[in-house]
Chain A
């Protein structure tokens, strides 16, 4: 409350938020129903009431430097109970999108992913890259003929494993690095926007991060959004499925294949390609993939069947869902088709799968996928400055001892 700030509303920012899906933000009349309806908002300076008025007043710096928007897991209790129909849940979601775009490095990619108009371009890039890889360094769409006695499908002769390894490792590296840079920007923004907190006693980054992960990995906070447990479970499945897949890939690539190339040179077939079960780790991959897909399907279905609770779905959501779900489905499909023996189908799917995976890697820092990083950082930042996020167990007010007053009854 203390120091006075000069306020200059940024109408454009409000417009951007509205464009990002917060269409009803002006309807809020500050009754604070939302801050209380929320089951996980902290007791001091709870959200989203304050975010609502910042949004109305176009106070960009405040909202862009507000870690609280990431504490929200969008159970949308606030939106359903709002007496004015201002949908605070959507406003926070829009704010999160803006966070990702505002801190994105390089920033033009942030725009690219955020803009519905640029969809074709955004999708075009990975497509073209994969096609280049095919036609430039390989034989284009000529599918290798099946060799008798061996597996029917030889991806390695369609696109060289080595190419994939190098190419995708690079893409992933790009994604990760630019995500890290973006997150660093974001961290600084948080410090800048909250001098009081940032200036105070701080916990180190690493311990904060560890605490945060301890909360995120089991989805502890998310679970408190009782409103829709199904979503919690779904997200948990997807989340761990994702991690499972990542681990699989990492092991396959990092521990098996890459050493193989180093020892044996670029030629030949790495052991991982010796069919299913050749290395047991792949089982994990399959299990994870299944979990991942089930979770995804549940979440997508909810968006259609229960929009009030699931919240409105904006382009930014759909883009991310499209890419990640696409990657999952095509990946699964490729494997199935391959064993199904539909040769050319397998190759085509494989190619599309690669395109999706590439998008996923490239757009990691710019799509909604980035929430994986931003949420972690925001929460970690909160912990580092000691933002209280626990709800007191018992009432914070004790009534005065009851004097027996007779009054004038009778």
Chain B
């Protein structure tokens, strides 16, 4: 693409997709690079957006449609940016594309059902397993299968394996475990960095029982539980015994606003938990949601949503951080401990399930931009805004709507780098 006015967007989450599309629709060439085999990032794994409680699939669909319709936009999935050299207006980036290990015609066949190897389903935060040859999810873009070469390699010995490979071939699907990654270089005028975030590792919160108590899950897992394409097909039930949950504790600031974990506020967890309360109440009208918080942060127009949820008499808000979570060994109920600050009494309550509102950790905190002269703040968020432009949660914790605004702005910043060059 040398010579043309091109923008490289790294990260295929909602911020990256938006930045790429907005720039492309404003008339510049765009290369979008995503590490996973599909676009959509974290948003693809959400059940609903607050405050409208509409499904992200709707927004993703229109964006995927825009991508398909736009010849100026090139998408690479399973791809990573290895190095970026040069400066504003003229960068050279090395992109490494990892193989899908399977060739087919738009996820054409269900024969993958017979795949002899299974792997933990990362899309569902490993709450279930999936076939080693799979379509990541119904709406995946690109609509193409992807194979886990490692898992399949292990299964080779299994007689079922060759049968499976044949069956696939018959359905126009070629499994190729030998395929190697390919690297190539592109010259671009500007870079938008939108590698987003990951949920803070809840196992680091020793006293909150994640990984120790069967019925302690995180907020992102709650999204999958509620999602109709999730591990339980939308049934909000207990991991331990699959029983419907009748009272759930939502534990705010699980890691956020804590010098021992994430010192900053993740901005969205309060609203997410309010949203989760609505999931629970919609699924089970008898259910009771209790949200334990330090400060309930619903800002700007989200206060409407806050008021709406607050009005539900089966959603109660308790000011006071949850400090310990233990498990009742017989019932597998979770016992949470905290202080109800306004009444000044210690709480030791039993719930069917506890949801930890884990915070957002910027990906750039651990995986930095492979380029010189990029600066970060003390928390690992991207600061530099010269030639390499942060978009979305790479800049600061923010909700989806704000991500889209920010990404649109980043697109203009990038566009400026292409002007007069």
Contact = CB atoms under 8 A, between A and B. Distances in A.
On whether A and B touch (CB less than 8 Å), the answer reads yes
Contact of A397 (B246, B341, B350): B350
Size category of the binding interface on chain A: 35 or more
Nearest to B323: A36
Nearest to B335: A395
Given A85-B259, A400-B247, A408-B234, A33 B321 contact: yes
Interface residues of B, number: 44
A83 interface: yes
B3 interface: no
Contacts of B207: 81
Interface in A50-89: 50, 81, 83-85
Nearest to B283: A407
B339 A83 contact: no
Which A-B residue pairs are the 10 nearest by beta carbons?
A: A409-B235, A83-B258, A397-B349, A36-B323, A32-B339, A31-B321, A43-B346, A35-B339, A31-B294, A45-B344
A397 B285 contact: no
B124 interface: no
A403 B286 contact: yes
A185 interface: no
**Which of A35, A49, A392 is the most central at the interface, judged by chain B CB atoms within 10 Å of its CB?**
A35
Contacts of A31: 253, 257, 294, 320-321
A36 to B, nearest CB: 4
Contact of A399 (B236, B246, B339, B347): B246
A305 interface: no
A35 B323 CA distance: 9
A83 B359 CA distance: 14
Interface of A: 1, 29-33, 35-37, 41-46, 49-50, 81, 83-85, 392, 395-400, 402-405, 407-410
A403 B246 contact: yes
A76 to B, nearest CB: 15
Contact of B286 (A42, A84, A400): A400
18 contacts: A30-B294, A30-B341, A36-B321, A36-B324, A36-B337, A41-B346, A43-B346, A46-B344, A50-B344, A81-B207, A392-B348, A396-B347, A396-B348, A397-B350, A398-B350, A399-B246, A405-B286, A407-B283
**Which of A1, A42, A409 is the most central at the interface, judged by chain B CB atoms within 10 Å of its CB?**
A409
B244 A37 contact: no
A262 B246 CA distance: 81
A33 B257 CA distance: 12
A407 B344 CA distance: 37
**Which of A31, A33, A41, A84 is the most central at the interface, judged by chain B CB atoms within 10 Å of its CB?**
A31
A405 B258 contact: no
Contacts of B335: 395
Given A398-B350, A400-B288, A44 B320 contact: no
Q: Is chain A's binding surface mostly helix, strand, loop or mixed? A: loop
Interface string B212-250: 000000000000000000001111110000011011000
Nearest to A45: B344
B142 interface: no
Contact of B323 (A30, A33, A50, A404): A33
Contacts of B294: 29-31
Contact of A402 (B234, B246, B260, B347): B246
B352 interface: yes
Contact of B339 (A29, A36, A84): A36
Contacts of A407: 235-236, 244, 283-284
Interface string B90-120: 0000000000000000000000000000000
A408 B345 contact: no
A395 B258 contact: no
Contacts of B38: none
Given A49-B341, A404-B244, A395 B350 contact: yes
B388 to A, nearest CB: 33
Nearest to B324: A36
B210 interface: no
A399 B235 contact: no
Contacts of A36: 321, 323-324, 337-339, 346
Nearest to A43: B346
Given A400-B286, A405-B285, A407-B283, A46 B346 contact: yes
Nearest to B244: A405
Nearest to B258: A83
Interface in B256-300: 257-261, 283-288, 294
A37 B347 CA distance: 12
B396 to A, nearest CB: 20
B418 to A, nearest CB: 45
Nearest to B338: A36
